[in-house]
Amino acid sequence: MLSIQPTSILRFACIALFACVAFVPVSKADPITYSFTGTTFYGTSVGFTYTSASGFISPTSFDDLYASQLSSCTNCLAWSFPVVELQPQAPFFGDLLVFDDSHFVASVFGFQKGAFNNPGTYQSGGIFNLFNQGTLTVSDGTVKTPEPGTLGLLACGLVSLAGLVWRKRLGSPATARG
In a domain, 103, yes or no: yes
Is 78 buried (19+), middle (13-18) or exposed (0-12) by CB count in 10 A? exposed
The neighbour count for residue 56, using CB atoms within 10 Å, is 18
In a domain, 72, yes or no: yes
Angle between helices 6-23 and 148-177 (to 10 degrees): 160
In a domain, 47, yes or no: yes
Question: Hey, which residues does 138 pair with through a beta bridge?
Answer: 34, 120
In a domain, 166, yes or no: no
In a domain, 172, yes or no: no
Whole-model pTM: value is 0.63
Q: Are 75 and 46 in contact (CB under 8 A)?
A: yes
In a domain, 58, yes or no: yes
Q: Which helix (H) or strand (E) holds 153?
A: helix 148-177
- Cβ contacts of 30 within 8 Å, gap of 6 or more: 55, 140, 141, 143, 144, 145
What total number of domains does the chain contain? 1
Q: What is the pLDDT of residue 160?
A: 79
Q: What whole-number distance in Å separates Cα of residue 49 and Cα of residue 14?
A: 45
| pLDDT tens for the chain, residues 1 to 178 | 445 565 666 676 667 666 656 655 544 567 899 999 999 888 889 999 999 888 888 888 888 999 889 999 998 877 778 889 999 988 888 899 999 887 788 889 999 999 999 999 999 975 556 788 999 999 986 555 566 677 777 777 777 777 777 777 776 554 555 5
Q: What is the pLDDT of residue 28?
A: 52
- DSSP state string for 134-145: EEEEEEE-SSPP
Range of the domain at 45: 32-140
Q: What is the pLDDT of residue 162?
A: 76
In a domain, 121, yes or no: yes
Q: What is the pLDDT of residue 137?
A: 96
Q: What whole-number distance in Å separates Cα of residue 102 and Cα of residue 131?
A: 19
